[in-house]
Amino acid sequence: MPKRPASQKKIPIELWVALIGLVGVVITALLGSPILLDLLQRASASATSSVQVQVPATQKIETPGAVSPDCVPSNLSELPTETTALIEPLEGSLSRAPFATLRYEYQTGLRLASGMTVDFRKMRSFELSNPGFTTDFAADIEIVFLDCTIHKDRIQSGSDSLLTAETKMGQLELHILEVKRVDFEW
pLDDT in the model for residue 46: 54
168 and 98, same domain (yes or no): yes
Answer for the pair 22, 14: CB distance below 8 angstroms, yes or no: no
Question: What is the sign, positive or negative, of the torsion defined by CA atoms of 144, 142, 112, 93?
Answer: positive
26 and 81, same domain (yes or no): no
pLDDT in the model for residue 10: 81
Ordered alpha helix ranges (H), 75-115: none
Give dist(CA 40, CA 47) in Å, integer: 10
Q: pLDDT tens for the chain, 186 residues: list them.
A: 566 665 667 888 888 888 888 888 877 777 776 666 666 666 655 554 443 344 444 444 444 467 877 888 888 899 999 999 999 999 989 999 999 999 999 999 999 999 999 999 999 999 999 766 566 788 999 999 999 999 999 998 887 899 999 999 999 999 999 999 999 999
Do the strands 109-111 and 117-119 form a parallel or antiparallel pair, or are they unpaired? antiparallel
102 and 72, same domain (yes or no): yes
Answer for the pair 124, 55: CB distance below 8 angstroms, yes or no: no
Would you say residue 7 lies in a domain? no
Q: What is the pTM of this model?
A: 0.63
Which domain range does residue 32 map to? Answer: 13-51
Give dist(CA 126, CA 143) in Å, integer: 4
Answer for the pair 158, 61: CB distance below 8 angstroms, yes or no: no
Where does residue 83 rank: exposed (0-12), middle (13-18), buried (19+ CB within 10 A)?
middle
Domain count, the chain: 2
